[in-house]
């Protein structure tokens, strides 16, 4: 009996090894070069500029004469594409600037692996100066929101109005953390993420941050997946996770510009109570909640969120 059990155990172990090898082969995901991604993900009006040695993917749309452009800043593991619904509509009447932050999208990693908030704020200030944007309405989602409100504190003369969309910055505890973020925070697992990345893991992450799973299309998952594979982005995500820290939220009452806060009622990454905390801290701010949307409401339902923005924009001195 023991001999038969040993034979069975060996065969079972062999089958598991074969399945593991097959899984590795299927999920193996080498880095993608920038050149290979540009044709699909950087058609016009996309452009690139060299900012102090960092090649930056950006879009500058709409009338160049607009004195107070809109600047749109995406969140962790996202890209400027998250704003396409807004940018296309807004560019009919406004100058709209969007870009991929270092470590994400087609901009890719920076040279020294520094992804702290202060470094991102400095990056945005230098980029806007390079593009000739002296004053703007700055909107940000998640990490982008955290950068936006810290920019308003660091350079108040540059920020005419502030739009925080499911913004980061508080020391919050997620109700649910996307699978990709969880992997990037676990030392043993994340090393394998450099070479193995099942598309299904990215799909699960996108589904986790959307309020309505039916809004998640195959094309949307393709975009997140392929841009994650851009050379250096996976390591950059790990470094960003290591450098996460709450922002100086005690300084939020110092923000004096018109502020609009948009929040998805089904956001499980940064739940609504943190949107309410921003609203309480920033005097005169307006909070609009979208009960059926998740963590990226501007991407999940551009029309509804853009309507709220348009209603608020007249409050900004132009």
CA separation, residue 243 to residues 19, 123, 136, 185, 247 (Å):
36, 16, 28, 11, 12
Whether cis (ω within 30° of 0) applies to the bond prior to 45 is yes
Say how many C-beta atoms besides its own lie within 10 A of residue 23's C-beta: 12
Q: How confident is the model at residue 172 (pLDDT cuts 50, 70, 90)?
A: confident
Query: Does residue 287 come out as left (phi exceeding 0), alpha (psi in the -120 to 50 range) or beta?
Result: beta
Per-residue pLDDT of 56-72, as tens digits, reads: 999 999 999 999 999 99
Mean pLDDT, to the nearest integer, of 250-261?
98
Q: How confident is the model at residue 176 (pLDDT cuts 50, 70, 90)?
A: confident
Per-residue pLDDT of 151-167, as tens digits, reads: 999 999 999 999 999 99
Mean pLDDT, to the nearest integer, of 198-211?
93
More confident residue, 281 or 8: 281
State the pTM of this model. Answer: 0.88
Average pLDDT taken over every residue of the chain? 89
Residue 179 has a pLDDT of: 62
Residue 21 has a pLDDT of: 34
Residue 180 has a pLDDT of: 60
Q: How confident is the model at residue 318 (pLDDT cuts 50, 70, 90)?
A: confident
Task: Give the Cα separation of 167 and 147 in Å (integer).
Answer: 9
């Amino acid at each position: 009996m023991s001999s038969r059990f040993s034979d069975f155990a060996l065969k079972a172990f062999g089958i598991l090894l074969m399945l593991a090898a097959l899984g590795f082969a299927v999920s193996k995901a080498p880095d993608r070069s920038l050149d290979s991604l540009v044709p699909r993900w950087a058609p016009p009006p996309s452009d690139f500029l060299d900012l102090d040695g960092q090649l930056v993917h950006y879009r500058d749309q709409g009338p160049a004469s607009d004195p107070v452009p809109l600047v749109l800043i995406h969140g962790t593991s996202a890209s400027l594409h998250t704003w396409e619904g807004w940018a296309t509509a807004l560019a009919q009447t406004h100058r709209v600037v969007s870009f991929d932050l270092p470590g994400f999208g087609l901009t890719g990693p920076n040279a020294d692996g520094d992804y702290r908030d202060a470094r991102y704020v400095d990056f945005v200030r230098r980029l806007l100066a390079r593009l000739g944007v002296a004053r703007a309405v700055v909107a940000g989602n998640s990490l982008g929101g955290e950068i936006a409100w810290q920019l308003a504190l660091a350079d108040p003369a540059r920020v005419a109005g502030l739009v925080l969309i499911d913004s980061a910055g508080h020391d919050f505890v997620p109700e649910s953390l996307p699978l990709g973020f969880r992997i990037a925070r676990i030392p043993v697992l994340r090393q394998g993420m450099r070479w193995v990345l099942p598309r299904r893991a990215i799909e699960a992450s996108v589904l986790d941050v959307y309020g309505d799973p039916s809004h998640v299309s195959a094309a949307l998952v393709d975009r997140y997946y392929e841009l994650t594979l851009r050379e250096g982005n996976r390591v950059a995500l790990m470094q960003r996770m290591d450098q996460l820290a709450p922002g100086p939220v005690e300084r939020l009452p110092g923000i004096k510009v018109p502020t609009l806060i948009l929040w998805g009622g089904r956001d499980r990454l940064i739940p609504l109570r943190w949107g309410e905390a921003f609203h309480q801290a920033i005097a005169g701010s307006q909070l609009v909640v979208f009960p059926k949307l998740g963590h990226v409401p501007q991407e999940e339902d551009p029309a509804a969120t853009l309507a709220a923005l348009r209603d608020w924009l007249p409050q900004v001195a132009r």
